[in-house]
Structure 1
Amino acid sequence: MKHSYQRKAVAASIVGLFSSTAAQAIEVQAGDWKFTANGNVNVHYIHSSCENHPDAIVTVGSACAVDGGGEKNVSSVSNGLLPAALVFGVATTQDGYDITGTFGFYPGISTNDGGSPNLQSGSSNVALGTTGLDVRQVFMTFGNKDIGTFSLGRNFGLFGFDAIINDMTLPGVGVGGAMSTGAPANTSLGSIGFGYIYTDTLAQMNYTTPSVLGGLTLTLGIFDPIEPLFQTGATAEGQPGFHGKLAYKAGDLYFSSSFITQTQHLPSGDDYRSTGVDFAAKAKFGNLDLLGSYYFGSGLGTTGLFVLSDDGFGNKRDSDGYLLQGTYTINKTKLGVNYGVSKLDFAGSADRAAAPNLLEKNSKVTGGVYHSLTKNLTLLAEFSDVTTKAHDGGKNTSNNFNVGAFLSF
């Protein structure tokens, strides 16, 4: 990423990817400061056909199953992979340094009365409910083209970012996830857990070098350590997490590789280090765009960072996955298909004996049509076929269809 890219809110990049031309933020100049606002509103009708007699599979993020009322077919009107967004930015140049600040607010339209808008528990879609608000971005940057850029605050992480930012389902839905249940969240899964691990938004401090060799940059940083989800007593406060990213862009070709590592502490006193590496490449050939990404990790988990990452006793589970995607644009209409796989291995024989129904593989294929009605309004339709398999042979399948609109500004 070049310095000029670092100075912009990530949300602005997301918005610009899905318009026939790049969306323009609102800009107001006040003395030496420039104030900007941009964002999106997206709404989708999602119909899911879920597994009628589901196998019990230990996982987070999977093919949907019948809800508590035994309903196989589930309908919702919800956001998609992205919540709505309103992102404010300030920028100035002082004493030769480019300085920015970004505040990103991400409201949903689903009822989120169960606490975190992304971690609902039980059905909360009832009368008198209200939606939730994610504050995903609060960060500053400073630097210039000679010294590089420092970025401090809460922002999207480095590991897994290029996979999700280039996922064609970003303005849409992809895998329905919580949108296929009675416990709505602010977002669907897209290809999260089905090809890549969610990059997440992290409290972090990063440094990005100036661009060299015609487009090569290196980012290194630390982040506030994350505790394993759903693992009682595990902590991660002893030292920060570390991550980094190498990226190269030349014309219509782009390549990147990132890493992430963090130590986990268990109540038993045992420690283990989680690590992950990913690779992403994309290329454009006229109207054809191709994307490929791959990740592998040890003690990294699946779907989210450090989710199901060990057996509960500090024995690490290995995981890997990939996403393949091709899109073709005809005038104002983009046609696309992607296929994603995420796998999770046992930590050992004891883990196999204790949790034989642990997730083995999530896979999905999504086909989509994205039509730019105007430069800022995209109408879209997608169909996703989803499969979740366990190590003991259990298998659940589902599919979901969605149609909706994505307005960027």
Structure 2
Amino acid sequence: MKNNNFRKSGLAMAMVAAMGASAGANAAVEVYNEDGTTFSVDGYFNAFYVNRDDKIADTRNSDIKMGFLPNTIGFNFSKEVGDLTMGGRSSFWSTINDSLQSPTDTAIDVRQLYATVDGSFGQVLIGKDFGLYARNNIFLDEILMGFGSPGAATGVSFGNIRSGYPYPNPSAQITYRSPDMGGLKVAAGVLEPANTTPGPQSEQSAPRIEAELTYSADLSGVALTGWVNGRSQKSENATTSISSTGVGYGVRAAVAGLSVTASGFNSEGDIPVLITDANLTTEEDASGYLLQGSYTLGSNRFVLSYGETESDQADFETENSSVALFHDVNSNFKLVAEYNMFEQTVKSSGADAADADTIALGAIVTF
């Protein structure tokens, strides 16, 4: 029994999905492998030239930014102990977008810091990792390694976050993953709950519960993957009780070089960007979907993407369209060209809140 923590990490799943089978052979550099103990390092580096036409502000800006995925370096450990394999991963995610605001003090965050125990029973993960709710929705996004929609004021791009799916933000958790049961995999965990009712006697008496079920099969040469994931938590104070629930789902079909993916979500009692501590007073609804198609021809992958999200809680409606070309120079070097069109309106009034067209030209190096 041999564990490979990198392949089970969120970043690894994202890269394999976005890069195709070639990523598997170049997923990490093995530094040590003796007596049942392994240590490896993986990295992801990217930069994009970005030209954005902001129609609301009536401005056009050129920038050099990272893509939707930040620059990352990860360290992976495993050790066989009897019938068990103990593992661990720590990954550091860094922005290049603050080069003029913090010239020598680049922001670094740790999105993965966990240990794993693998055996015939499956795997138990303890620590910090991406959540299960909306996990496959984002990790199987065809433009994951691209740029996507405008995001925060810091210039971070959002991909299809809040225009097709919410973000499965990294959380402290204890999660179980089953072995592969004829294509069926089940994951369930308890995660740190969000305080959505700050105030007198605020409490979260139970953890946040998240789960995901994934099924993969090959039907006469058509590779099918389907998934359903969900989240449930409750927060209350002396006067208010907020139950936050969500269900995500999707299906992908691939044959030869063609791949078609459809996914969506429905939630209530949250703002469908990410779950976090926030003062909510009602349990209003949100929903969204993402439709994508890609075609791989030789070293080129062409992608069409369209997504929408609407939220009563956050009072917005969005739609996001992308056309992208990914070109593999080799198995570790990729070039990207993407054109993105993003619109957001205030749901209650119909007023325009955002309208931007973005050209992004990027380069990605992995090891």
Same fold by TM-score, threshold 0.5 exceeded? yes
Q: 1:370 to 1:192 in 2, by over 3 A?
A: same
Partners in 1 of 2:90 and 2:141 — Cα distance? 24
Task: Tell me if structure 2 keeps the 8 A contact 1:301–1:307.
Answer: no
User: Normalising by the residue count of structure 1, what TM-score does the alignment of the two structures yield?
Assistant: 0.81
Residue 355 of structure 1 corresponds to none
Ranges in structure 1 where 5+ consecutive residues have no aligned partner: 53-65, 113-124, 347-357
- Structure 1 or 2: more strand by fraction: 2
Q: Does 1:401 align with 2:348?
A: no
Aligned-residue Cα RMSD (Å) equals: 2.2
Residue 63 of structure 1 corresponds to none
Size of the aligned set, in residue pairs, is 354
Residue 297 of structure 2 corresponds to 330
Task: Tell me if structure 2 keeps the 8 A contact 1:300–1:307.
Answer: no
Amino acid at match of 2:184: L
Bigger shift: residues 13-22 or 99-108: 13-22
Residue 288 of structure 2 corresponds to 321
Residue 42 of structure 2 corresponds to 38
Residue 49 of structure 1 corresponds to 53
**For residues 230-269 of structure 1, what are the structure 2 equivalents within 5 Å?**
233=199, 237-251=204-218, 252-266=223-237, 268-269=238-239
Tell me by how many angstroms 1:147 deviates: 1.1
Q: 1:245 to 1:19 in 2, by over 3 A?
A: closer
Tell me by how many angstroms 1:5 deviates: 7.6
Counting aligned pairs with the same residue, the percent is: 25
Amino acid at match of 1:404: G
**For residues 1-400 of structure 1, what are the structure 2 equivalents within 5 Å?**
8-19=8-19, 21-22=22-23, 23-27=26-30, 28-52=32-56, 66=57, 72-111=59-98, 125-126=100-101, 128=103, 130-144=105-119, 146-178=120-152, 181=153, 183-184=154-155, 187-212=156-181, 214-228=182-196, 233=199, 237-251=204-218, 252-266=223-237, 268-305=238-275, 312-313=280-281, 315-345=282-312, 359-390=315-346, 391-395=348-352, 396-400=354-358
Partners in 2 of 1:106 and 1:40 — Cα distance? 9
Task: Tell me if structure 2 keeps the 8 A contact 1:164–1:198.
Answer: yes
User: Normalising by the residue count of structure 2, what TM-score does the alignment of the two structures yield?
Assistant: 0.90
Residue 115 of structure 1 corresponds to none
Partners in 2 of 1:191 and 1:222 — Cα distance? 26
Task: Tell me if structure 1 keeps the 8 A contact 2:246–2:265.
Answer: yes
Tell me by how many angstroms 1:276 deviates: 0.4
Tell me by how many angstroms 1:188 deviates: 1.3
Tell me by how many angstroms 1:107 deviates: 1.2
Tell me by how many angstroms 1:307 deviates: 8.2
Q: Which has the higher contact order (CA 8 A, sep 6+)?
A: 1
Partners in 1 of 2:28 and 2:104 — Cα distance? 32
Partners in 1 of 2:7 and 2:358 — Cα distance? 37
Q: What is the SS of the residue equivalent to 2:14?
A: helix
Q: 1:262 to 1:236 in 2, by over 3 A?
A: farther
